[in-house]
Amino acid sequence: MAAGLAALAVPGPKRSAIAAQPMLTGQVAWPGSPLYEDGRRAFNSRFDRYPAGIVFCDNVEDVQHAIIWAQAQALSISVRSGGHSYEGYSVLDNRLLIDLSGLTHLAVDHAAGTATVGPGVRLLNLYRALAAEGVAVAAGTCPGVGLGGLVLGGGIGFRSRRDGLACDSLLDVEGVLADGRVFQASASEQPDLFWALRGGGGGNVGVATRLTFRTTPAHDVSMASITWPWDEAAAVIAAWQAWARGTDPRLSSSLAFFRPDSGVIGFTGLHLGPVGELEALLRPLLETGSPSPLLRALSWLEAAETLAGPGGAHATFKNGSGFAYRPLPQEAIALVVSWMAEAPAPSNLISFFSMGGAISQLAPAETAFPHRFALFDIQIQAYWQDAWQEDENVAWVNGFRQALAPYTRGAYVNYIDADQPDWATAYYGRNLNRLRRIKARYDPDGVFDAPQSVPAGVVAP
């Protein structure tokens, strides 16, 4: 629903110029309004920022108008698509925030085997809508993330070892370039732009407004939850990483644990097959230590809802990440256990997410996501309640990441990290040069210039 600008209370010295500007459409919120106050909240409540205004877009034209209007007003922009920037980069001070949460169209073409989706569709809503049509897509796990941001950074989830990353199922993208032109990108149309949009991260070369994916049937699945006593963590990590890289690609899994006072280390696995197969596949883990397993058969949607968790709440947190290309040696496993034993908050955790399978069937340069040959992804997470706890928890994440650096490579752009050393190389590896060239072509003036956006017009030697 559009709001007429002349009727809005527009702050600042350019009030008359802004009110007379006909380009801005969509629902617009300026400082002082309840919609603005709600809309400026970042996913990570560490960050309390004040954009110049917020445009809630309902269609591609609203996005066009916002980009063109902002440049006419000499305003920088930020874009909120996935809405889950760990460092709050989608909500920045004194910029026009272009919010895509209203772009929620969704259509399934059974004959073509595709789904066309707006970037504002939340992941769990997508799973539910597609399951009603008997289909699924490979995507992530966080229920409230918008699909656009998730896919542009790669998209690792519990179907990925069989179906690939979310960006691997991407067939076509509509969006808006820095100069306001609408683009269509696919393997046959502007293929270099399409390449960059498949794992090159959000906020680099354009704003995606419509995404078309290849779908797969949503057959019934089986799930496993296993816990072990915390003091068996080292043995379980060693067994899991040896098992995960070679198991059936229909089975994806994660391993996570908190401080010793949590009591346990936990495994979650999703098998795109029957529970009897799952039990047999898990035998090496069930023979490790003192496991307490729970195996069950359920529909794909039931599994997706279980894996998603509650979601929705704003939290205060800091994350770090890395990729393990080789199994962690014993000294690295001991390091993990010792750092977790000293975690400053009971909600802090480390998690490992299995890769391989279909993820590794594409070459690292085939899409912008470079970490194809990693065995698993590592995520370090710290959560706290009070401001006085921030420094200690941020230092713990950064120190833990640094301690693991000799055993890992790179970082995941969807777990964006302001403290990640040499972040551009960490996220994009050998694909960075090509991304920079594409950025220079499609955004030479750096309109999309959020922190940790690929620099415009810079080509590494």
Domains of the chain in sequence order: 5-99 (3.30.43.10), 106-218+429-442 (3.30.465.10), 221-423 (3.40.462.20)
Tens digits of residue pLDDT in 244-289: 999 999 999 999 999 999 999 999 999 999 999 999 999 999 999 9
Give the pLDDT of residue 365: 98
Nearest Cα neighbor of 316 from 265, 388, 254 is 388
Nearest Cα neighbor of 40 from 24, 57, 53 is 53
Report the side by side order of strands in the sheet with 170-176: 106-109, 114-117, 207-214, 170-176, 182-186
Q: Mean pLDDT of all residues in the chain?
A: 93
**Mean per-residue pLDDT, 32-53:** 97
Q: Which stretches of 230-344 are assigned E, i.e. beta strand?
A: 251-257, 264-271, 292-298, 317-324
Give the pLDDT of residue 455: 84
Give the pLDDT of residue 23: 78
Residues 6+ apart with CB under 8 A from 335: 403, 404
Confidence of residue 20 (pLDDT cuts 50, 70, 90): very low
**Mean per-residue pLDDT, 148-155:** 95
Percent of the chain predicted with pLDDT > 70: 93
More confident residue, 20 or 370: 370
Give the pLDDT of residue 5: 28
More confident residue, 349 or 457: 349
**Mean per-residue pLDDT, 313-326:** 94
- The β-bridge relationship of strands 96-99 and 53-56 is parallel
Confidence of residue 52 (pLDDT cuts 50, 70, 90): very high
What per-residue string of b and e applies to 199-225 under the rule 16 or more CB within 10 Å gives b?
A: bbbbbbbbbbbbbbbbbbebeebbbbe
